[in-house]
Amino acid sequence: MGKPSAERKAVQRAREAQQGIGKLEIHLSVREREILRRNCALRRPGREPYGADEYVELLILQDGERLERELKALHNRRCGKCGDKLPVTECCHDGDSQCWVTLGWHETKLKTNVS
């Protein structure tokens, strides 16, 4: 016989606390929730869809890897104005078109065609 649901939840919460798992509340539009639900299934055709937690976890890890690669590539370049290693976050030439700070963040921001 299975454990009562309250007991199972308590066990689950204890396990998550032990693993340092925390809850994060995010606000999504109807459209975004629909995309999430649809893509959780589309990414696992013929298999049980990703759970929302799992899907978001994997996106975070995937973007972490991508950002690391992008930052490594940036470290090999320098600001055209001050010569500092990229990414430069502060520069007295901010606003100057030759200074990386002015437009450089477009290289690291998350890009999407969705508006």
Task: Give me the residues that bind Zn ion (CB under 5 A), please.
Answer: 79, 81-82, 91, 93, 99
DSSP annotation of 23 reads: -
Determine the Cα–Cα distance for residues 52 and 102; give it in Å rounded to an integer: 37
Alpha helix ranges (H) inside 19-113: 30-42, 52-75, 100-103, 105-108
Which residue, 50 or 99, is less far from Zn ion as judged by CB?
Answer: 99
Q: Least distance from C-beta 87 to Zn ion, angstroms?
A: 11
**E strand or H helix at 10:** helix 5-18
Q: Least distance from C-beta 51 to Zn ion, angstroms?
A: 44
Q: Least distance from C-beta 79 to Zn ion, angstroms?
A: 4
Peptide bond into 87 cis (omega under 30): yes
Which residue, 50 or 101, is less far from Zn ion as judged by CB?
Answer: 101
Which residue, 38 or 75, is less far from Zn ion as judged by CB?
Answer: 75
Determine the Cα–Cα distance for residues 98 and 23; give it in Å rounded to an integer: 43
Which residue, 55 or 107, is less far from Zn ion as judged by CB?
Answer: 107
Q: Least distance from C-beta 97 to Zn ion, angstroms?
A: 11
